[in-house]
């Protein structure tokens, strides 16, 4: 990471004129931050920062909105005014110099990522290029053969994302990897619609959770997957056209050294939980399991990876929190073969891009992700996924405006590239 004093703007480049933040509502009806960065050429970059219900212990600190907004409107505005917005690394480095705390608890990770992303968007507008192209340039891509990530649709919600009894947080469908994005999107919509019809026909509540997936009560993990399998079978074939994934978010049911799956009256060791996953992999064509263990249960991660990494994507989210420092700690011995990328977990775009570079260098699959409290106005993650060449992107179900906005942005890019 570059450290040192921030250079003033280069001759011919615009400069940052002002940075302003204020509160807006997210998809959960909670206050979050909207930030505008104004450049001297009239370009205005805007970001709206999401917030997760399920958070890793080492994520960048999310400060209360009044404090975060004040930090943006005073400290960061004063520090970054008159500087070159095109030098993203230097902008982010100055913010890191201003907050030297381990988890960005002084300025707030939400304050810093709000400014970082708004600066990037303003710079892309200023240069009259698409945001994904600008991100690709920052990332250092020399090829311009952009491809779309495979969409990962969370169509049934549990855990902290729903008011039901399911311990596991997300039950997902993944279209076949060789499909054009437009067709993959259609597959997700078809399966979601079929599941709604099946649930409705059986008079099961079709209310949705935070991420747009259905949130029925009285289900077990197997029952949830069985209903999704039935929905897929209406038009497609499991294991050929559509595959299954889960975000377990195991830290949410880790209690006193055991994994307590209350809806099934189970209290499991990590070895027993690994066997439980193994049965699901066999039965339901699972190819993706995210956060299968508590982030401190490294033995569980390591043992599971040794057995199942050839069969499924073992995906680290809370384990690595989009932070290059924590990624290095789970590569030797190796515990994952895929990572989640959420910019607000780490606090700057530069650190996010460095994390992706390190992940790809290590041969890991990359999945760019939304947060459960999100906003339809901000589709940055779609451009990020395309810009860095991520293999997957998840933004919840193909329903609810804040979820669909990201998928629709990918569809826009798909048509732009074709």
Which tens digit of pLDDT belongs to each residue from 109-150?
A: 999 999 999 999 999 999 999 999 999 999 999 888 999 999
Out of 211, 295, 391, 402, the active site residue is 211
> Each residue of 268-297: pLDDT tens digit?
999 999 999 999 999 998 999 999 999 999
Q: Kindly state the average pLDDT of the residues 220-235.
A: 98
160 confidence band (pLDDT: 50, 70, 90): confident
Percent of the chain predicted with pLDDT > 90 = 91
Q: Is 106 a catalytic residue?
A: no
> Whose CA is closest to 253, among 245, 243, 263, 244?
263
- Measured CA to CA, the distance from residue 410 to residue 348 in angstroms comes to 22
Instruction: Evaluate if residue 17 carries a pLDDT over 80.
Output: yes
- Model confidence at 29: pLDDT above 50: yes
Judged against a pLDDT cut of 60, whether residue 412 lies above it is answered with yes
Whether the predicted model's global pTM rises above the 0.75 cut: yes
> Is residue 2 pLDDT above 60, yes or no?
no
Q: Rounded CA gap, 214 and 158, in Å?
A: 9
Decide if 394 contacts 153 (C-beta within 8 A).
yes
Q: Would you say residue 1 has pLDDT above 80?
A: no
Active site residue: 55, 61, 342, 394, which one? 342
- CATH numeric code, 16-128: 3.30.390.10
The pLDDT of 162-188, averaged and rounded, is: 95
56 pLDDT higher than 80 = no
Between vectors from CA 298 to CA 294 and to CA 301, what angle results, nearest 5°? Answer: 75
The set of residues, in sequence order, having a beta carbon less than 8 Å from that of 82 and lying 6+ positions away, is 8, 9, 15, 16
Q: Give start-end residues of each CATH 3.20.20.120 domain in the chain.
A: 150-417
Mean pLDDT of the chain: 95
CB neighbour list of residue 257: distance below 8 Å, 6 or more residues apart: none
Q: What is the pLDDT of residues 326-366, one digit of tens each?
A: 999 999 999 999 999 999 999 999 999 999 999 999 999 99
Average pLDDT over residues 59-79: 97
Q: What is the DSSP string of 295-362?
A: TT-HHHHHHHHHHHTTTSEEEESTTTTT-HHHHHTTBTTB--SEEEE-HHHHS-HHHHHHHHHHHHHT
| Residue 3 DSSP symbol | -
Q: CATH 3.30.390.10: which residues of the chain?
A: 16-128
pLDDT at residue 57 above 90?
no
- Give 196-253 as a DSSP string: HHHHHHTT----B-TTSSB--SS--HHHHHHHHHHHHHTTS-BTTTEEEEEE--GGGG
Active site residue 211: yes
Q: Is the pLDDT of residue 321 over 90?
A: yes
For domain 150-417, is the CATH number 3.20.20.120? yes
**pLDDT confidence band for 54 (50 / 70 / 90):** low
């Amino acid at each position: 990471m570059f450290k040192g004093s921030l250079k003033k703007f280069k001759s011919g480049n615009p400069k940052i004129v002002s940075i302003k933040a204020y509160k807006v509502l997210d998809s959960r009806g909670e206050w979050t931050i909207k930030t505008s960065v104004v450049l001297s050429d009239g370009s205005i970059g805007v970001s709206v920062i999401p917030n997760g219900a399920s958070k890793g212990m080492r994520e960048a600190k999310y400060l209360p909105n009044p404090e975060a907004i004040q930090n943006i409107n005073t400290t960061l505005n004063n520090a970054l005014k008159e500087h070159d917005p095109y030098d993203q690394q230097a902008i982010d480095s100055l913010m890191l110099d201003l907050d030297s705390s381990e988890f960005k608890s002084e300025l707030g990770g939400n304050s810093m990522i709000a400014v970082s992303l708004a600066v990037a968007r303003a710079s892309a507008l200023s240069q009259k290029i698409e945001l994904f192209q600008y991100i690709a340039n920052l990332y250092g891509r020399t090829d311009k053969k952009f491809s779309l990530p495979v969409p990962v649709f969370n169509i049934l919600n549990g855990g902290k994302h729903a008011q039901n009894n399911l311990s596991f947080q997300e039950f997902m469908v993944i279209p076949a990897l060789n499909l054009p994005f437009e067709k993959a999107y259609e597959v997700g919509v078809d399966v979601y619609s079929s599941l709604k019809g099946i649930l409705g026909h059986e008079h099961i509540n079709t209310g949705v959770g935070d991420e747009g997936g259905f949130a029925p009560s009285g289900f077990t993990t197997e029952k949830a997957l069985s209903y999704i399998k039935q929905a897929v079978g209406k038009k497609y074939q499991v294991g050929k056209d559509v595959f299954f994934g889960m975000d377990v978010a195991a830290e949410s049911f880790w209690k006193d050294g055991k994994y307590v799956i209350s809806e099934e009256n189970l209290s499991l060791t990590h070895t027993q939980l690994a066997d439980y996953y193994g049965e699901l992999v066999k039965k339901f064509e699972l190819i993706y399991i995210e956060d299968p263990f508590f982030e401190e249960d490294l033995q569980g991660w390591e043992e599971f990876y040794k057995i199942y990494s050839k069969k499924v994507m073992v995906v680290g989210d809370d384990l690595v929190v989009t932070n290059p420092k924590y990624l290095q700690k789970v590569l030797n011995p190796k515990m994952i073969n895929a990572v989640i990328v959420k910019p607000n977990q780490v606090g700057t775009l530069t650190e996010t891009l460095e994390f992706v570079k390190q992940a790809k260098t290590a041969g890991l699959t990359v999945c760019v992700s939304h947060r459960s409290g999100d906003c339809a106005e901000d589709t940055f993650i779609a451009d990020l996924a395309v810009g860095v060449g991520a293999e997957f992107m998840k933004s919840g179900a193909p329903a609810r405006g804040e979820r669909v906005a990201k998928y629709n942005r990918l569809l826009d890019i798909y048509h732009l590239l074709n």
